[in-house]
Structure 1
Amino acid sequence: MEKFKRKVFYLGGFDPRGVRFYHQLYREQVEKYARLAGEQMEVSARRSGPASSARWTVINHSAGVEADYEFLRWEDLVGKVWIRNPLSLAWRSIATYAAHARHMQFLRMRRLRPGPVITILYPPLLAVLIPLVLALVPALLLSLTFPFWIAALIGIGASVLFSGRLLNKLIVPWLLRFMYYNHSVAARGPGAEMDARLDQFAARIAEEMDGPYDEVIFASHSNGTIYAMSVLRRLFALRGGAPLPDNFTVLTLGQVVPVIALRKDASWYHADLKALDDKPFRLVDFSAPADGAAYHDVHPIRLVSDQCAARVDLLSPRFHLFYDPENYNSGWSNKYEAHFDYLRVGDRVSPVDYVSLTAGRRTIDEALAEFRMIA
């Protein structure tokens, strides 16, 4: 039997963990998928690829599918801007939210999806309130039996000891880093190194997209969905405006495009999106309504333009249908982990979970057709 050949490019989010973590995550999810689906599958070791990438091969023996998976790497650039000092993070967060107050279209964002507005605003509030409460409560209680200065010192010590752990559990530092990074990108652009990396990514996709594949998927997740639009603009430029192949699909997962697109000062990014409004291409977005970090049912091109020539599907992955209640509830109580469920397999196989789309027997359009038939 002739194999169905698929090429997958993956552009991840603002995460310093990089290819080692994501290769292991993908391998674990393939093992889970194979158990649930009763299929024989294997994932190769990762190897270096061209243009700042890593590659591995996925073979679904049962379905006759072979996927060449290419991970587009930028975790080294994330590491350079990953703020580790909490005082530095606090100081830069002040500048970040001052800029958001001036430039972010919060009212429009709220009309699109209220959840992400809460996600953006709660980190600075908690970063102030939690240390303050952890210092004041023990200080006030102890001041009933100790001199106030002793009670105050104990309260400050308790705050230093416990507030960091609690803030980390609520992913406040990660969200502050995310917001600072995107504030910097909105105001000044990606920077010379990231621009060069995006050029590499586009050139690499252009090199392969007309290759001997039955399907080519350019997948992106979280912060990667922002840069996916910039890569797509470069792709069209490299092809001289020629249409993309019919078997090429842009797949966005947990889309966060409005984080930059709704900044009034991000003119460079508005131009990237506007340049795509007359370009025919295939875009499929899966963003869950319950994911407070993502923008469900938000058309990225229509954020800046009234027209769009692309064929676009904006869908919810409907995780609740594919997880047992106890796992679904425990997963979604941790918002950070929930944002990675787009890359996981649930307690039951979905036609549109990430392994199904990248290593399954159906094309994306066939998978969507089956998904829509599920009540």
Structure 2
Amino acid sequence: MFYLPGFDPREPEVYWGLFRREARLTASRRGAAITVGDPVRSADGLDLAWSVQSRGVNTRYVLLRWEDIVGARFPQSGWARLRGVPTLLWRLWRSGYAAALHREGWRFSTVIFGVHLIYLALVGLSLALAGGLVALAPDALRPWSLLTVPPLAYAILAGLMRVTRGKPLYVSHLVDDTAFTHAYAAGAAPEMAPRLDAFAARIRAAEGEADEVVVVGHSSSSFLGIEVLDRVLARDPGFGTRGTPVTFVSIGSVIPWLGLDPAAQGFRDALLRFGRARQIGWIDVRAPWDWLSIHAQNPLAACALTPPDPERPAVLGVMINDLITGSDVRRRQWNLFQMHFQLLMASQSVGGFDYLDLMTGPEPVHDLIARGRENGLREGPDGDADP
């Protein structure tokens, strides 16, 4: 199992801790012993791997690391945001991207652009507070004190961004994540190409060493995972045809976030090639209650492409009550990041979808494709997904 995390600067051991904790919960609720080994970083530092034993199955879980790249871009400097946010918003509005994203995923669009409006409001508030403080200065100092407004406003804005960095707003995180996504779309994130090439080599080398190979792309890695597998196929067109089933699992997907950007032609080409690559299975795990994912329709159609195979990807729909109880839903529903990660956590339902059970259980992941087609989501009249 190869896991690609989203835009997250945290050390990879955080994910190991989450996996181990949730595996214990899954084991206790489903009566199946799950043993999670200690994490080991590779010599080149590109992955963190641990072993899992459950019900006669041995799994090597490999987290492919790019948190150092995230850490170099989040948090951005205050000056970078002040310059970058208006420029990016203007480009996205002028190109028609903002309207297209709203049509495809209005919840996601509301969160992303809403956070940017909050950021601009914080800039205005910082200027107002700085101006108000300067107005308290003696009249004799007034001409000179006006010069202090910009640096004072900058300092106030820095404090406000620190306060709103975490829940429930996550302003700096989502603003910087958006900046990275569109920089990547425009080819302005050159540090990613060597990393994706290295990931592709890791995944390609695993073929033939196990009963199956599974690549999981969560959040931003829903599109990075496709880029990685497209690189594998470019170097080895026979990958996935030599007896080892290979499956890509997109979970908490935001593929149209990148794919609708007019600058992302390279990614759309990769997405279309991957859409044709039937030797690699594709399961899209969808959660209509997750405001930080986009899930209304086929990811290729959502990116204005004609899907070469209408049954690809297979869809596995998960309702929130499959994972957590009513009281927990009420307690967590406005913590957007908590809900975005909920698909990676143990299910409180004995029979509902459970990521830990999927990753460690005896049923091969590639066998779920047929089931996903049978139990997929239906599109409701408003374009949202129904159970």
TM-score range, shorter chain: 0.7 to 0.9
1:49-81 CA deviation, whole Å, 9 max, x = no partner?
A: 376112100111xx2121111111111111222
| 1:358 shift after superposition | 0.4
With 94-103 and 259-268 compared, the bigger mean Cα shift is at 94-103
Identity of aligned residues (%): 23
53, 58, 64: which one aligns with 1:59: 53
Aligned equivalents of 2:238 and 2:96: distance in 1? 32
What is residue 345 of structure 1 aligned with on the other side? 346
Change in CA separation of 1:43 and 1:237 when aligned onto 2, cut-off 3 Å: same
1:236-284 CA deviation, whole Å, 9 max, x = no partner?
A: 1222355545622100111011111101111221221122233213111
Aligned equivalents of 1:50 and 1:250: distance in 2? 26
What is residue 193 of structure 2 aligned with on the other side? 195
1:259 aligns with 2:257: yes
| 1:126 shift after superposition | 1.0
3-state SS of paired residue (2:210): coil
What is residue 120 of structure 1 aligned with on the other side? 112
| 1:168 shift after superposition | 3.6
Amino acid at match of 1:12: P
With 80-89 and 176-185 compared, the bigger mean Cα shift is at 80-89
1:45 aligns with 2:35: no
Contact 1:279 1:308 in 2 (8 A): no
| 1:351 shift after superposition | 4.8
Q: How does 1:222-241 map to 2 (within 5 A)?
A: 222-241=219-238
Change in CA separation of 1:49 and 1:92 when aligned onto 2, cut-off 3 Å: same
Contact 1:48 1:55 in 2 (8 A): yes
What is residue 296 of structure 1 aligned with on the other side? 295
What is residue 5 of structure 1 aligned with on the other side? none
Contact 1:54 1:70 in 2 (8 A): yes
Aligned equivalents of 2:158 and 2:201: distance in 1? 48
Aligned equivalents of 1:159 and 1:178: distance in 2? 19
217, 228, 236: which one aligns with 2:214: 217
Q: How many residue pairs end up in the alignment?
A: 356
Contact 1:83 1:89 in 2 (8 A): no
Change in CA separation of 1:252 and 1:268 when aligned onto 2, cut-off 3 Å: same
| 1:164 shift after superposition | 4.2
| 1:179 shift after superposition | 0.6
Aligned equivalents of 2:160 and 2:105: distance in 1? 33
Contact 1:16 1:78 in 2 (8 A): yes
Change in CA separation of 1:350 and 1:221 when aligned onto 2, cut-off 3 Å: farther
Contact 1:131 1:163 in 2 (8 A): no
| 1:190 shift after superposition | 3.9
Contact 2:317 2:375 in 1 (8 A): no
Aligned equivalents of 2:126 and 2:237: distance in 1? 59
Question: What's the C-alpha RMSD, in Å, of the aligned pairs?
Answer: 3.2
Aligned equivalents of 1:175 and 1:261: distance in 2? 18
Amino acid at match of 1:358: M
Question: Under a length normalisation based on structure 1, what TM-score does the superposition of the two structures give?
Answer: 0.84
1:172-210 CA deviation, whole Å, 9 max, x = no partner?
A: 11100001111111112541x321111111121111122
Contact 2:232 2:239 in 1 (8 A): no
- The answer for unaligned runs of 5 or more in structure 2 is 138-147, 377-386
- The answer for unaligned runs of 5 or more in structure 1 is 1-7
Change in CA separation of 1:237 and 1:172 when aligned onto 2, cut-off 3 Å: same
Amino acid at match of 2:217: S
Contact 2:161 2:171 in 1 (8 A): no
Aligned equivalents of 1:298 and 1:276: distance in 2? 17
| 1:160 shift after superposition | 7.3
Change in CA separation of 1:81 and 1:162 when aligned onto 2, cut-off 3 Å: closer
What is residue 181 of structure 1 aligned with on the other side? 180
